[in-house]
């Protein structure tokens, strides 16, 4: 919900999706081709700064959206940088090998820059614009329909959760710890059944079209699309030059 809110409320709402997609693609290429971890971290800082200062997305919203993947990234970096071995007395010993730390730093820096590039795209581009951009890139219609169905199912799950939890609170279902545990268990069971039923309805609606034309959305007209794409191309060249150590 947070990502969807800022996808429509940012200052880049009227910027052509091709420009934002090209900038995000340049960010991914820069993250992958950065010559040093410092350059990759610099790319992440540039991408985050452009998203916050250019698109007007609050940095707190960006951190909230990135909290889950950042936690996974921290655990992955720790598993790569720390070596666990067993000593002579059968006790585990922790080691920090230099090659492991170097690999963890390089991988984490590139992953952070890639994550920043993708978050910058989804925080500034609504789903209909993303679908139009992917359709221009000749992405199969089946994948686009799956994206729409999964996106719709997320909102259905969120609505069901709020309705069920509100009803439980109205019946004092969280008055004590024991009642809270029981209410959570009932809520999870109810969610599983309701999601399964809603998923069947969505699948039936997709099959009712018998593989016909894909889902279509009314895309807005962008008056300055060429200008936006040109500016994004120049900025992308600068970002790639920085990542590759040319400047």
Q: Which residue has the higher pLDDT, 163 or 1?
A: 163
Q: Cα separation of 163 and 140, whole Å?
A: 36
Q: Is residue 216 part of a domain?
A: no
* Domain containing residue 54: 2-80+97-134+230-243
Q: Which long-range contacts (CB under 8 A, 24 or more apart) does 156-159 make?
A: 156/195, 156/198, 157/191, 157/195, 158/1
Q: How far apart are CA 16 and CA 27, in angstroms?
A: 17
Q: Which residue has the tokens 């609505």?
A: 159
- Specify if 36 maps to a domain: yes
Residues 128 and 146 in one domain: no
**Long-range contacts, stretch 75-80, CB < 8 angstroms, 24+ apart:** 76/107, 76/108, 76/111, 77/104, 77/105, 77/107, 77/108, 78/104, 80/104, 80/107, 80/108
> What's the mean per-residue pLDDT of the chain?
85
Tell me what pLDDT residue 212 has.
57
pLDDT band at residue 87 using 50, 70 and 90 as cut-offs: low
Can you list the alpha helix ranges (DSSP code H) found in the chain? 2-9, 17-33, 37-49, 59-81, 98-122, 127-136, 141-170, 177-207, 225-243
User: What does the pLDDT read at residue 215?
Assistant: 64
Same domain for 118 and 9, yes or no, is yes
Residue 216: pLDDT over 70:
no
Whole-model pTM: value is 0.78
Comparing 39-53, 69-83, 192-206, the range with the smallest average pLDDT is 192-206
pLDDT at 184 over 70: yes
Same domain as 145, residue 116: no
Flag whether pLDDT at 51 surpasses 90. Answer: yes
Residue 240 has what pLDDT?
95
Task: Judge whether 18 lies within some domain.
Answer: yes
One domain for residues 166 and 103: no
Q: Which residue has the higher pLDDT, 204 or 110?
A: 110
Share of the chain above pLDDT 70, in %: 91
pLDDT at 98: 75
pLDDT attached to residue 21: 93
In a domain, 212, yes or no: no
Q: Is 239 exposed, middle or buried (0-12, 13-18, 19+ CB in 10 A)?
A: buried
**Average of per-residue pLDDT across 158-186:** 83
Burial class (CB in 10 A: 0-12, 13-18, 19+), 158: exposed
Using an 8 Å Cβ cutoff, are 221 and 17 in contact?
Answer: no
Q: Give the model's pLDDT for residue 209.
A: 66
Q: Is residue 75 part of a domain?
A: yes
DSSP 83: E
């Amino acid at each position: 919900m947070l990502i969807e809110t800022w996808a429509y409320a940012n200052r880049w709402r009227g910027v052509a999706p091709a420009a934002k997609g090209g900038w995000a693609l340049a960010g991914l290429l820069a993250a992958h081709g950065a010559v040093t971890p410092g350059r990759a971290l610099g790319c992440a800082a540039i991408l985050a700064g452009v998203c916050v200062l250019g698109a007007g997305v609050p940095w707190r919203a960006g951190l909230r959206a990135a909290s889950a993947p950042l936690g996974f990234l921290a655990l992955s970096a720790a598993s790569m940088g720390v070596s666990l071995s067993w000593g002579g007395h059968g006790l585990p010993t922790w080691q920090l090998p230099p090659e492991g730390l170097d690999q963890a730093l390089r991988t984490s820096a590139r992953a952070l820059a890639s994550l920043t590039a993708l978050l910058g795209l989804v925080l500034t581009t609504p789903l209909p614009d993303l679908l139009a951009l992917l359709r221009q890139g000749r992405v199969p219609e089946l994948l686009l329909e799956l994206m729409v169905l999964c996106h719709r199912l997320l909102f259905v799950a969120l609505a069901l959760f709020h309705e069920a939890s509100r009803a439980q609170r109205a019946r004092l279902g969280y008055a004590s710890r024991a009642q809270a545990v029981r209410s959570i268990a009932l809520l999870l069971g109810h969610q599983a059944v309701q999601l399964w039923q809603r998923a069947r309805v969505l699948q039936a609606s997709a099959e009712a079209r018998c593989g016909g034309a894909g889902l279509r959305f009314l895309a807005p007209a962008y008056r300055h699309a060429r200008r936006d794409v040109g500016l994004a191309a120049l900025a992308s060249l600068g970002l790639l030059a920085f990542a590759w150590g040319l400047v």
